Amino acid sequence: MSKCKQCESDIPGDFPGVLVSAATPSHCPGCGTPYPWREEAIARAEKTARMQAEIHALDQATRDELLAFTERVAVDGATSEEAATFGQWFLKKAGPEAAGSVGGMLKEIASSVIAAVIQKTMMGS
Ligand SMILES: [Zn+2]
């Protein structure tokens, strides 16, 4: 796939095997449609967030916030300020063990800027 199925803009770069990484564009620069591999990444992130919530026995409010934030990170919609606030809040609410593993999950889907904020606020370095 080298063109957007929506507007037929060229997809920047070449991504054989549709590998999701920080270098992979998430949305079509032409029309803003999320690319299919991004939709998969979002679905995977949501599933992981749900499992993390269960493992760490998070209450419903914390779980809802985590899912909402995960979705925003997955679509590159989170700002670093939002990530910092979420990180501090989650660490306080769920404790360092849960914050460490949730942070690791979020870092995999986050942009490098957001990943650095998550590392600092949730994983303590
Ligand atoms: Zn497009």
For 59-107, write each residue's pLDDT tens digit.
999 999 999 999 889 877 899 999 999 999 999 999 999 999 999 989 9
Calculate how far, in angstroms, residue 77's C-alpha sits from the geometric centre of ligand 1.
18
Question: Is there a domain that residue 74 lies in?
Answer: yes
Q: Tell me, in angstroms, the distance from the centre of ligand 1 to residue 105's CA.
A: 28
pTM for this model (two decimals)? 0.71
Q: Is position 82 within any domain?
A: yes
In a domain, 90, yes or no: yes
How many Å lie between the centroid of ligand 1 and the Cα of residue 36?
Answer: 12
- Residue 92 in any domain: the answer is yes
* Top-ranked range on mean pLDDT: pick from 24-33, 39-48, 74-83, 85-94: 85-94
Reply yes or no on whether the pLDDT at 25 is more than 60.
Answer: yes
Give domain status of residue 31, yes or no: no
Cα(44) to centroid of ligand 1, in Å? 23
Q: How many independent structural domains does the chain possess?
A: 1
Q: Quickly list H helices, 1-122.
A: 36-55, 60-74, 80-109, 112-122
Q: Is the pLDDT of residue 20 over 50?
A: no
In a domain, 16, yes or no: no
Answer whether residue 24 is part of any domain: no
Q: Which domain holds residue 78?
A: 36-122
